[in-house]
Structure 1
Amino acid sequence: MNEHSFIILFNIEYPMSNKKERILLATEKLLAEYGFHGLSMQMVAKEAGVAAGTIYRYFEDKDDLLYQLHDHILGYVANKLTLNVSDEMPLKQRFRTMWLNIWNMATRDDAPLINRGQFENLPRRNNHEQRLLEKKMFAQVDRLFDEGKACGQFKDLDNEILSVLSLEPSSCLARKHMKGLVTVTDEAIDATIDACWDAITKH
C-alpha cells in the first residue's frame, strides 16, 4: 500500500502532559509555518515549552525527530483510516467505512497543520524494518483487497492499483470539496462510493 496516498490535511492533537508528543506537535506546526529550512531544534524547544536539552532525551538529532514525526503521522492516518473497521464485516461494508474515514479525515478536522506535500518530503528510513512497519500499519487495507481477490470479487490487480482506483478518489474529492471547487452532497458521496467499488469489482 502507498500509505502516502491518504495524507490529506489534518491537525493531530496530543496530550499536553506528554513532552515527547508536545515536541512532535511543535515540530509539525513549525514545519507547516516555516518549512524544513526554517526549522531548528531551538525553535522546536521554544514552541513545545521545553528546554532544548529535553529534546535529546527522546530524539537523537533533527533527522531522528523527523523520522519519528513521519511514523507518528503515519500511525495517526492508519488509525483514522481503519476506525470502526473489522475483518468480520462484509467486504463492501469495510470498503465503505474506509472510504468515509478518509473523507471525514479531510473534511472534519479543522486547523490543518502539515499537508500532503510536506508529509511526502519528510525524511523517512528506507530500510526493511521501516517497510515492515508501514505494511503493518495498513494491514487491514491489504487484507480487504487480498480477500476480495481471493474470493473472485475484486479484479486481479496489485493492491496499490486497487487503492488508486477505489480509495484515493475520496481524498482527491475531499480536497476539491474543501477548496470550494465542487459541492458534494450526501447523495453524491453514496454514488461516488458505489462508482469506486464498481471500479475494482468484477462484473
Structure 2
Amino acid sequence: MTDKKERILTATEKLLATHGFHGLSMQMVAKEAQVATGTIYRYFDDKDDLLFQLHEYILGYIANKISQNINDSMSLKQRYRTMWLNLWQMSVSGNAPLINQGQFQNLPRKNAHERKVLNKHLFTFVNQMFDEGKACNLFKPLDNEILSTLSLETSCYLARRKINDGLEITDSELNAAINASWDAIIQH
C-alpha cells in the first residue's frame, strides 16, 4: 500500500470517528490526509469505495494486532489469552478510533459472501484456534463467528466502555473477564 493511500484511509477513519458518515466529505479527507482531492480518486472510485476499502483496511489492522506474539506451540488457552489482551491493548491505546467509538460495525460492507471470505483469510489463526478447540471437544460446537462474539469481542467492548464511559477495571477484574469469556465458549 502506498503512503498516500494509507494516509487517506487513516484520515478517513479519524474523520468518521468525529464527524460520522454524513459529515464526511472528500475535501475533508484530502485536507486531513494532506493530499489534493483529486489524489483520492487515484485510489478510490468514490466515497462508497473509500468506505469499503477502509473497512478492509481496519480488518487488516485488527488481524495484525490480534496475531502478535501468537505461535502454534502455545496452548489454546495461552493463544486465546494473548489474542484477548492484544485486542484490549489495541483498543485502549486509542489507535483505532472507529473501533473505540463503536462505529466500525456501521461501515458499509461488500456482500456477505465476500466479507466472510475476507474474514476467513485475515483471521486464519483465530479460526484455526477455534477449529482446534472444537476438534478436541474443548470449545462448544458453534460457528467460529459466534465463538468470537462470545469471547474475543468482549475485549473490544470492555475497552470501549473504559475509553468512552470511564469504566474502571483493575488487573484482577481484567483477568476475571478473560476467564469469564473463555468459560463462555468451553464445553462444561
Taking structure 2 as the reference length, the TM-score comes to: 0.87
Shift in alpha-carbon separation, 1:198–1:114, aligned structure 2, 3 A: closer
Shift in alpha-carbon separation, 1:187–1:66, aligned structure 2, 3 A: same
* Equivalent residues in 2 for 1:40-55, closer than 5 Å: 40-55=25-40
Structure with bigger RCO (C-alpha 8 Å, 6+ apart):
1
Query: Which of 82, 93, 97 matches 1:113?
Result: 97
Judging by fraction of residues, say which structure has more helix.
2
Shift in alpha-carbon separation, 1:143–1:60, aligned structure 2, 3 A: same
Q: Distance in 2 between matches of 1:144 and 1:38?
A: 40
Unaligned runs of 5+ in 2: none
Q: Does residue 1:169 correspond to 2:139, yes or no? A: no
The one-letter code of the counterpart of 1:75 is G
Q: Distance in 1 between matches of 2:94 and 2:187?
A: 35
**Superposition misfits of 4+ residues, deviation over 3 angstroms:** 127-130
Q: Does residue 1:72 correspond to 2:57, yes or no? A: yes
Q: Could you give the per-residue CA deviations for residues 44-93 of structure 1, whole angstroms, max 9, x where no partner exists?
A: 22222212221111111221111111110111111111211123321111
Unaligned runs of 5+ in 1: 1-14
Taking structure 1 as the reference length, the TM-score comes to: 0.81
Percent of counterpart pairs with the same letter?
63
Q: Could you give the per-residue CA deviations for residues 15-64 of structure 1, whole angstroms, max 9, x where no partner exists?
A: 9x811111112212222222222222222222222122211111112211
Deviation at 1:94, TM superposition (A): 0.4
Q: Distance in 2 between matches of 1:62 and 1:151?
A: 46
